[in-house]
Amino acid sequence: MKKTFFALRALACGAVLFLTPLAALASGGEKEGKLVHVADTRHLSGFNLYIADLYNTNRLLFTLEAVAITALMGLCLGLLMDWIVGAIGLDLSKHEGQE
C-alpha cells in the first residue's frame, strides 16, 4: 500500500513539474525581446569599476575571477579559523581513529 501511494505521489509530482512550464507557455502574450544584463558603471570607481566593466565585456573572465576570488576568500577564512582555534588551545590536526 505504501509503495503504491509513494509511486502515485511521485507520478503526480512529476506530472506537475512537467506540465507547469507548458501552462506558462500556453498563456500567450507578446513575444519579448532578448534580455540584456548590463551593470551600471556611471558612479563606480576603482575595483568596483573594474569588476563591473569585466562583467559587461567578458562574462567568462568575470566568472573565472569570481570563482578564484571566492576560493581565495575561503582559503583565507579557513586559515584564519585554524589559527584562532589553535590560539585557544584546540588541536584539530591530530585525530586518532577509534574502532
pLDDT of residue 19: 81
Within a domain: 23: no
Structural domain including 64 reads 40-89
Within a domain: 69: yes
**The pLDDT of residue 20 is above 90:** no
- Rounded alpha-carbon distances, angstroms, from residue 54 to 8, 50, 67, 72: 49, 6, 14, 19
Within a domain: 18: no
Q: Are 57 and 39 in contact (CB under 8 A)?
A: no
For residue 86, give every residue at least 6 positions away whose Cβ sits within 8 Å of its Cβ, in sequence order, or none.
none
pLDDT of residue 39: 87
As a whole-number percent, the residues of the chain with pLDDT over 90 amount to 43
Within a domain: 7: no
Structural domain tally of the chain? Answer: 1
Q: What is the mean pLDDT of residues 39-68?
A: 93
Q: Which amino acid is at 9?
A: R
Nearest residue to 9 (alpha-carbon basis) of 17, 75, 86, 53: 17
Rounded Cα–Cα distance for residues 63 and 70 (Å): 11
Q: What is the mean pLDDT of residues 65-78?
A: 97
Question: Is-above-0.95 flag for pTM?
Answer: no
Within a domain: 94: no
